Structure 1
Amino acid sequence: MKYEQLAKDIIANVGGEENVNSVTHCVTRLRFRLKDESKANKEALMEHDGVVTVMQSAGQYQVVIGNHVPDVYQAVVQEGGFQAKKPVEAEEGKEKKGVFSSFVDIVSNIFIPILPLLMATGIIKGFNSLFLALGWLENTDGTYLLLNAIGDGFFVFLPIFLGYTSMKKFGGTPFLGMAIAAALVHPSLTGIKAGETIMTLFSGTVFESAVQITFLGIPVVLMSYASSVVPIILATYVGSKVERGFTKIVPGIIKSFFVPFLTLLVIVPLTFIVIGPVATWLAQSIGQGVVWVYEAAPLLAGLVVGAFWQVFVIFGVHWGIIPIYYNNLAVMGYDTLIAMTFAASFAQSGAVLGVLLLTKNKKLKSLSIPAFISGIFGVTEPAIYGVTLPLKKPFIMSCIASGVGGAIIAVTGAALYSAGPLGVFKIPTFIHPEEGITFGFWGMIISIVVAFILGFVLTLFFGGVNKKEKATNVENNNTVKNEEVKSEVTNNEEIASPIAGNVIALSDVPDEVFASGAMGKGVGIDPTTGRVVSPVNGTVTTLFKTKHAIGITSDNGTEVLIHVGMDTVQLEGKHFTAHIKQGDKVNVGDLLVEFDIEKIKEAGYQVVTPVIITNSADFKEVEVTEAKAIDEKDFLIKTVR
């Protein structure tokens, strides 16, 4: 009965029992499938002391509770009488996402795997432009040419990489998607485009096109597909359908080579004749439309896009805009749309600095320091979810400051000339590759300075930081808990690494709840082996039925959560093998769980694994190793009483 009232409040604020199709839970959150998400009262849930945060993703309404979620789940099921209800199939939940939500989900899954490479090559390209602008290099120098090949090569052949990720997302063979894209960017066809015209299609219209070749007598409009985005995504979508069709009818003995043979023969000509030209015309129209709006009212465009960008990020809507950005770079050589959002991370950082200086809440102050640092480098999720959004007013102040910064960028004509990283590292990508440092570049510098200062000042005077009673209550509660723990255990403890792999900061973990520190302090590991061993001597207190998450309480009272991958609960235990059960006593190095890294990735999930101290509030400090790579049983975390 401990969570009876919390369960009643949650059910009421998700729209009542009649609004719930089904409810399940993972290791940290309740996962509702609602009939109508608009009936849920997100604000009331976020304000509730028993709720960490609320997320809406993949057709699920996720109420983040913490490591006692199984008990809360039982109370919710009992209060709502959900045991008697038939479980709703995943497909039903997906249908309720809507067309735009489905589009955003597709685009994000296609682009997320290649974002690190886009950032890395963007840094190189940006600095190469900077060296050229400063006169340190000439565009004929071998050093410039080689750096340009490194920075530009990935973007030029972007369709090949998108061919892999998009075909994988659509359920086809990824390498088949790469083969389709490779044909699109083949240099022999690119060279023909400048040849003799044999006919002209759509004369007198905006789609007028010269034809240099035919395929089986059918005119082929040759386009430049280097750096393009939309054509390969549409081609792989159709290609995945074609491949599945041939898979059903081709005999098994020749299926391995005959299915790709037939698929390529159908989809590549179809792409050149129909899909590619139509997609290119569509992309060009979108790009020109964005430019028209920008040129018609740059001040208004910058103000609106800048102010609402962080809201778009929270709801994942920004993934619907990202393709326009890459399309603009490919078609026009520059982008003004995403350029107008650049000041947002600096506005957010200014607001966090204001909170850091004002707050009397020790927990909030400790969250603000890393959130401020990561914000300067363009990673704002820790700032948004851990600091400004819970306080509300600082988040609003940061949006206002971001809008002003976006307006300055728009009216000064600042533009992005290459895909690149985030935060301060993105600055060189505003340098014009031929004209160097222009007025627009200085406009960008002014915008981020103004956004930062404005976010800081507005938060200082209008942020209402110390008026948030809930934050004060949390601090008081933690103080009581710390005093109770000190009477039980007084010594510190070192936590060993449960997994071999590369260490990443918790703020870089691709999940807002873990990254914000809401579940506790810790670290992320990108595993190189599919093994989880015990990091402490203690007891297995939680083994989720899907085997993707393990909770262990050490003999010294430290509560450790190991969460293998992101959203891997959806795999329902596939590719995981447990070697222990809940309640088992374990020692450091004992094998807990094995998992298949490659198969999990093939299923579309990341394997980055947060290792969290869920009772971090019981400790004075939670220190993390400075090592970049780590083996099983190496030192990972130290808890200080």
Structure 2
Amino acid sequence: MAGKFDQTAADIIQLVGGKKNVVSLTHCVTRLRFVLKDKSKANHEALSSVQYVIKVQQVGEQLQVVVGNKVDRIYEAILETQGISGSGEVEPDDETTSTNKSVFYRLMDVISGILVPTLGVLTAAGIIKGVTSFLALENIGILDPTSGLYMLLYAIGDGFYYFLPIILGLTAARKFKTNEFIGLAIGASFVYPAMVNISKTMEVLGVVFEGTKFQMAFYNTLFGIPVIMPGAGYTGSVFPVIVAVFIASKIEKWCKNHITENLRGILTPVITLILTVFVSYLFIGPILNSVAVVIQIIIEALFNIPVIGGLIAGAIIGGGFGVLVLFGMHWVIIGLALNLIAQNGFDYIMACGGIGPMIGMFQGLAICWACRKNKKVRELAIPATISQICGVGEPLMYSMLVPMKKLFLINILGGCVGGAIIGLLKTKMYLFGGSGLFGIFNYAGGGGSADIMKYLVGIAVGGIFTIVATLITYNDEEATRILK
């Protein structure tokens, strides 16, 4: 029996040039992401007319087909009916390498390809953790932090973030086409309890870069080289395990090409794991920790410029994040924010960027009110706004804001206004989880609800500006003409 989305799946694959033209296929919250052998074979105009397709765009080497909240079911229909195998990748017949891609695109592609598969559960865990933390705040007092309910809920929410390196070890291994269990083992080595708790079980043997912000203690050595463990450890971190698995993929490939077939099955994982984990703890981890410190110093210096620092930074991030989402390039920023949260317990960047979904929500509501007598526009605005309230902004962005350019500009300006307030107040985000209304709970932490209140002030100012500007700008006749 044919499924509801089978025809859509067939049409999409046909119009991207057929199965043989697909190098890989992944998806995020709202869009199918194709890498094609020959981009010229994709018929963008015809794809845009396929049922459920909202928008088609080429971003670097990636063809993005935006289909909204139905993306997972359409993706599954493609896998089931079109012969796309396993994780959504078709092995190329020849060497379709990425050597012609820009460095930035390759970085974006790698980070999004590794993080996107975790998105559904990452968001769910974030919502659970955020709501649980909020209800347990002392000035809220709804949930007792010593109760069994709190313990179990927090274990669900925090457990995912704590063991994130293991999960990313798996998705990174898939991205770099290496043994998935090697990726899992590398991730596990980063969060092994004896290493995480090393500062509690061993005496400090020495300190590198003592007296600076790069100061790191070590508790043991390997061949005379300090084995450094950051104060926050590697739990919840992103980039160390990604770099480690990338290196492991190269070592594994070398082993398979140089070790005799009789010993390859045993020696390859042994050599790969030992070399990778040694290099990770001795070099990769400390270097990336230092990079994170540099980024944090730059961010804090910008935010600490008297009066205007946080204002400018917040405006740029708050207004610019929606533009990054438009092109699917926001995962680099999210990856950075996750790493800073893991290292410092909070982040300023996504604290400002988190205003975007709320600005979209206010704008969607304003459009729904303004077009209440226009059935055609209303049929687009209402479902898109509901999606936006739940944190998925692409349907509203692509179906209404981008076509009506003035509304998209207002969306950017609303983000600038709200982000400027959030940055001025030096608001901190403590986890990256839910979006839209659920995003409020990302700011629960730091011992109280102060950052939630700061975020709400930014939302209020940015939201009022957005509603007023949208109601003034929106024109029913123009909307009817543009939104064909």
- 1:58–1:95 CA distance, 2 compared to 1 (3 A): same
Secondary structure of 1:298's counterpart equals helix
> Structure 2 counterpart of 1:454, which letter?
F
Question: Does 2:292 align with 1:280?
Answer: no
Question: Does 2:124 align with 1:120?
Answer: yes
8 Å Cα contact 2:361/2:436 also seen in 1 = no
* Aligned positions of 1:341-420 closer than 5 A: 341-359=353-371, 362-420=375-433
Secondary structure of 2:330's counterpart equals helix
8 Å Cα contact 1:352/1:388 also seen in 2 = no
The CA distance in 1 between the partners of 2:293 and 2:39, in whole Å, is 43
Secondary structure of 2:41's counterpart equals strand
- 1:398–1:207 CA distance, 2 compared to 1 (3 A): closer
CA deviation digits over 1:466-507, x for unaligned, max 9? 2357437x3xxxxxxxxxxxxxxxxxxxxxxxxxxxxxxxxx
Deviation of 1:341 (Å)? 2.1
The CA distance in 2 between the partners of 1:414 and 1:136, in whole Å, is 24
Q: Equivalent pairs: percent with the same residue?
A: 34
Question: Does 2:203 align with 1:196?
Answer: yes
> Structure 1 counterpart of 2:57, which letter?
M
The CA distance in 2 between the partners of 1:469 and 1:201, in whole Å, is 65
The residue number in structure 1 matching 2:442 is 429
- 1:345–1:217 CA distance, 2 compared to 1 (3 A): closer
Deviation of 1:230 (Å)? 1.6
Q: For structure 1, which segment, 447-456 or 318-327, has the greater mean C-alpha deviation from structure 2 after superposition?
A: 447-456
Higher-Rg member (1/2): 1
The CA distance in 1 between the partners of 2:215 and 2:65, in whole Å, is 53
- 1:461–1:128 CA distance, 2 compared to 1 (3 A): same
CA deviation digits over 1:148-191, x for unaligned, max 9? 22221111111111111112111211211110121121111233
8 Å Cα contact 1:159/1:228 also seen in 2 = yes
Question: Does 2:240 align with 1:231?
Answer: yes
The residue number in structure 1 matching 2:148 is 142
For the aligned residues, what is the CA RMSD?
2.7
Secondary structure of 2:402's counterpart equals helix
The residue number in structure 2 matching 1:457 is 468
* Aligned positions of 1:176-187 closer than 5 A: 176-187=182-193
2:220 maps to which of 208, 213, 219? 213
The CA distance in 2 between the partners of 1:284 and 1:460, in whole Å, is 44
Deviation of 1:123 (Å)? 1.4
Q: For structure 1, which segment, 135-144 or 300-309, has the greater mean C-alpha deviation from structure 2 after superposition?
A: 135-144
Deviation of 1:409 (Å)? 1.7
CA deviation digits over 1:302-331, x for unaligned, max 9? 111111211111122211211221012111
The residue number in structure 1 matching 2:40 is 23
Deviation of 1:424 (Å)? 0.8
The residue number in structure 2 matching 1:159 is 165
8 Å Cα contact 2:54/2:399 also seen in 1 = no
The residue number in structure 1 matching 2:263 is 254
> Structure 2 counterpart of 1:334, which letter?
F
The CA distance in 2 between the partners of 1:470 and 1:253, in whole Å, is 70
The CA distance in 1 between the partners of 2:349 and 2:212, in whole Å, is 27
8 Å Cα contact 2:54/2:398 also seen in 1 = no
The residue number in structure 2 matching 1:103 is 107
Deviation of 1:122 (Å)? 1.3
The CA distance in 2 between the partners of 1:304 and 1:218, in whole Å, is 42
The residue number in structure 1 matching 2:87 is none
Secondary structure of 1:419's counterpart equals coil
> Structure 2 counterpart of 1:163, which letter?
G
Deviation of 1:370 (Å)? 0.3
> Structure 1 counterpart of 2:410, which letter?
M
8 Å Cα contact 2:54/2:395 also seen in 1 = no
The CA distance in 2 between the partners of 1:298 and 1:384, in whole Å, is 27
Secondary structure of 1:317's counterpart equals coil
Deviation of 1:366 (Å)? 0.7
The CA distance in 2 between the partners of 1:408 and 1:390, in whole Å, is 28
The CA distance in 2 between the partners of 1:409 and 1:272, in whole Å, is 37
* Aligned positions of 1:438-453 closer than 5 A: 438=450, 440-453=451-464
The CA distance in 2 between the partners of 1:131 and 1:63, in whole Å, is 39
> Structure 2 counterpart of 1:413, which letter?
K
8 Å Cα contact 2:377/2:480 also seen in 1 = no
Deviation of 1:217 (Å)? 4.0
Secondary structure of 2:57's counterpart equals strand
Question: Where does the alignment leave 5 or more consecutive residues of structure 2 unmatched?
Answer: 1-37, 67-93
8 Å Cα contact 1:157/1:227 also seen in 2 = yes
The CA distance in 2 between the partners of 1:303 and 1:466, in whole Å, is 32
Q: For structure 1, which segment, 389-398 or 123-132, has the greater mean C-alpha deviation from structure 2 after superposition?
A: 123-132
* Aligned positions of 1:449-598 closer than 5 A: 449-467=460-478, 470-471=481-482, 474=484
The CA distance in 1 between the partners of 2:111 and 2:45, in whole Å, is 26
Question: Does 2:321 align with 1:312?
Answer: no
8 Å Cα contact 1:200/1:209 also seen in 2 = yes
TM-score (norm 1): 0.59
The CA distance in 1 between the partners of 2:249 and 2:42, in whole Å, is 33
> Structure 1 counterpart of 2:341, which letter?
L
The CA distance in 2 between the partners of 1:284 and 1:366, in whole Å, is 48
The CA distance in 2 between the partners of 1:463 and 1:346, in whole Å, is 19
Higher strand share: 1
The CA distance in 1 between the partners of 2:213 and 2:453, in whole Å, is 36
2:178 maps to which of 154, 172, 181? 172
* Aligned positions of 1:259-270 closer than 5 A: 259-270=268-279
Higher helix share: 2
8 Å Cα contact 1:347/1:453 also seen in 2 = no
The CA distance in 2 between the partners of 1:357 and 1:208, in whole Å, is 55
TM-score (norm 2): 0.77
Secondary structure of 2:472's counterpart equals helix
The CA distance in 1 between the partners of 2:39 and 2:347, in whole Å, is 43
The CA distance in 2 between the partners of 1:428 and 1:322, in whole Å, is 17
- 1:409–1:216 CA distance, 2 compared to 1 (3 A): same
The CA distance in 2 between the partners of 1:256 and 1:26, in whole Å, is 45
- 1:218–1:444 CA distance, 2 compared to 1 (3 A): closer
> Structure 2 counterpart of 1:259, which letter?
T
The CA distance in 1 between the partners of 2:431 and 2:360, in whole Å, is 24
8 Å Cα contact 2:213/2:293 also seen in 1 = no
The CA distance in 2 between the partners of 1:427 and 1:142, in whole Å, is 25
Q: For structure 1, which segment, 215-224 or 171-180, has the greater mean C-alpha deviation from structure 2 after superposition?
A: 215-224
8 Å Cα contact 2:377/2:479 also seen in 1 = no
Deviation of 1:260 (Å)? 0.7
CA deviation digits over 1:169-216, x for unaligned, max 9? 112112111101211211112333342233444455544433321224
Deviation of 1:293 (Å)? 1.8
The residue number in structure 2 matching 1:55 is 57
The CA distance in 2 between the partners of 1:156 and 1:406, in whole Å, is 29
8 Å Cα contact 1:346/1:376 also seen in 2 = yes
Question: Does 2:284 align with 1:271?
Answer: no
Deviation of 1:23 (Å)? 1.4
